Amino acid sequence: MGAGVFSLQGQRVLVTGAAGGIGSATARLAAEQGAQVIAADLAEPAAIAARSGVAVAHCHRLDTSDRAAVEAFVAQAGRIDGLVDTAAICPADDWMAPDWDAALQQVLAVNVGGPINLARALLAPMAAQGGGRMVFCGSIAGWMGGIVSGPHYAFSKGGLHAFIRWLARRAAPQGVLVNAIAPGPVETAMTEGRGYRPENYPLGRMAKPEEIAATAIFLLGPGAGYAAGAVFDINGATHFR
Ligand SMILES: NC(=O)c1ccc[n+]([C@@H]2O[C@H](COP(=O)([O-])OP(=O)(O)OC[C@H]3O[C@@H](n4cnc5c(N)ncnc54)[C@H](O)[C@@H]3O)[C@@H](O)[C@H]2O)c1
């Protein structure tokens, strides 16, 4: 660990949801630690580049809920040492509405199907290259049901927490370390205008995206070599489990 426990020098890191708040912060911090960052999002490459600071040539439009698209993307991406998947949706809707089941399917496709698609595409290449890291985004909602979010989101994040444990057990013997972060409320587009009351939280504020991204950077680096199957709560003492 001579280069430092947080160093990502020489690593190629894929960040999905990279036009978003936590994803763009992760891309910036990973680059600061020396990684070559590949940034992907539903957004157009120019928008991803503008948000994340990643050169547009390394920004790609990718729908993580599309299995074939994820597999095709990974097949042409070259070596990927680390994945930080921050792509997710959290719609504001009414679960009693007649058309709500379509929203449920969409949330599950992105928030659960996305991580499964990425893990399925990356596990074998990471194992073949001698190891890798995967970091997924859970949520405080996956533990306690959420503060503002709906049942589809809470359900998806509880499922994500279970999935990373399932995957970590199977991936660790192949040198692939899988973990998740469960943030509390973070100042991003996902929470904007949704009626959060930061003054009620123990720290009197929501998290900054960088305060979540920093844990992802740790989990990609040499210092996290024995972290596997963990869900890291970064929630400013809003919830204990
Ligand atoms: N903001 C919070 O308070 C909070 C709290 C707990 C967990 N999280 C989780 O953190 C992660 C990042 O959230 P954020 O707050 O940065 O949200 P955000 O809305 O700022 O960013 C999410 C990004 O994901 C992208 N995306 C959505 N669907 C996609 C798809 N199918 N394929 C590719 N990209 C897609 C969006 O375009 C967006 O850029 C998510 O998993 C979220 O559930 C956020």
Cα 233 from chain centre: 14
Q: Among this protein's residues, is 226 annotated catalytic? A: no
pLDDT of residue 233: 98
Q: If you measure from the C-alpha of residue 138 to the centroid of ligand 1, how many angstroms do you get, rounded to a whole number?
A: 10
- pLDDT, block means (10 residues), the chain with 241 residues: 84 98 98 98 98 98 98 98 98 97 98 98 98 98 94 98 98 98 97 93 98 98 98 97 92
Is the shortest distance between the CB of 186 and ligand 1 below 6 Å?
yes
Per CATH, domain 2-234 is 3.40.50.720: yes
The finding on whether 117 has its CB within 6 A of some atom of ligand 1 is no
Protein residue with least CA distance to atom 12, ligand 1: 86
Which amino acid type is present at position 128?
A: A
Tokens for 199, please give them. Answer: 């003054």
Residue nearest (by alpha carbon) to ligand 1 atom 17: 190
**Side chain identity, residue 140:** I
State in Å: Cα 35 to ligand 1 middle: 22
Output the pLDDT for position 2: 53
What is the pLDDT at residue 3?
59
pLDDT of residue 92: 96
Q: Give the pLDDT confidence score for residue 241 in this predicted structure.
A: 92
Q: Which atom of ligand 1 is the closest one to the Cα of 114?
A: 31
Cα separations (Å) of 101 from 92, 95, 108, 121, 160? 13, 8, 11, 28, 20
Q: How far is the CA of 89 from the centre of ligand 1 (A)?
A: 6
Q: How far apart are CA 18 and CA 210, in angstroms?
A: 13
Predicted confidence at residue 32, as pLDDT, reads 98
| Burial zone of 2 (CB within 10 Å; 0-12 exposed, 13-18 middle, 19+ buried) | exposed
CA–CA distance, 220 with 171 (Å, rounded to integer): 15
CA distances 54 to 10, 69, 104, 201, 223, Å, are: 16, 21, 32, 33, 25
What was the pLDDT predicted at 147?
Answer: 84
Spans of all domains in the chain = 2-234
Tokens of 108: 């599950």
Distance between CA atoms of residues 225 and 104, nearest Å: 36
Q: What is the pLDDT of residue 192?
A: 94
